[in-house]
Chains A and B, each alone.
Chain A
Amino acid sequence: EADIYQTPRYLVIGTGKKITLECSQTMGHDKMYWYQQDPGMELHLIHYSYGVNSTEKGDLSSESTVSRIRTEHFPLTLESARPSHTSQYLCASSEGSGRETQYFGPGTRLLVL
Chain B
Amino acid sequence: AQSVTQLGSHVSVSEGALVLLRCNYSSSVPPYLFWYVQYPNQGLQLLLKYTSAATLVKGINGFEAEFKKSETSFHLTKPSAHMSDAAEYFCAVSDQRRRDDKIIFGKGTRLHILP
> C-beta contact mask, A49-69 vs B, less than 8 Å → 1, else 0?
000000010110000000000
Q: B32–A98 contact, CB under 8 A?
A: yes
Q: B108–A40 contact, CB under 8 A?
A: yes
With both beta carbons as reference points, the residue of chain B lying nearest to A107 in the complex is identified as B43
Q: A99–B51 contact, CB under 8 A?
A: yes
With both beta carbons as reference points, the residue of chain B lying nearest to A59 in the complex is identified as B102
Instruction: Tell which of B43, B96, B108 has the most Cβ of chain A within 10 Å.
Output: B43
Which bucket holds chain A's interface residue count? Answer: 20 to 34
Residues of B within 8 A of A (CB): 9, 32, 34, 36, 41-46, 49, 51, 90, 94-96, 98, 100-103, 105-108
Q: How far is the CA of A42 from the CA of B108 in the complex (A)?
A: 6
With both beta carbons as reference points, the residue of chain B lying nearest to A91 in the complex is identified as B43
Q: Beyond A40-B107, A42-B90, A99-B94, is A104–B102 a contact (Cβ under 8 Å)?
A: no
With both beta carbons as reference points, the residue of chain A lying nearest to B97 in the complex is identified as A98
Instruction: Kindly provide the distance from the CB of B59 to the nearest chain A CB, expressed in whole angstroms.
Output: 11
Instruction: Kindly provide the distance from the CB of A108 to the nearest chain B CB, expressed in whole angstroms.
Output: 10
List, in ascending order, chain B residues with CB within 8 A of A31's CB.
Answer: 101
Q: 26 interchain pairs (CB within 8 A)?
A: A9-B41, A31-B101, A41-B107, A42-B105, A42-B107, A43-B105, A48-B100, A48-B101, A48-B102, A56-B100, A58-B102, A59-B102, A96-B101, A98-B32, A98-B95, A99-B32, A99-B49, A99-B51, A99-B94, A101-B34, A102-B44, A104-B43, A104-B44, A106-B42, A107-B42, A107-B43
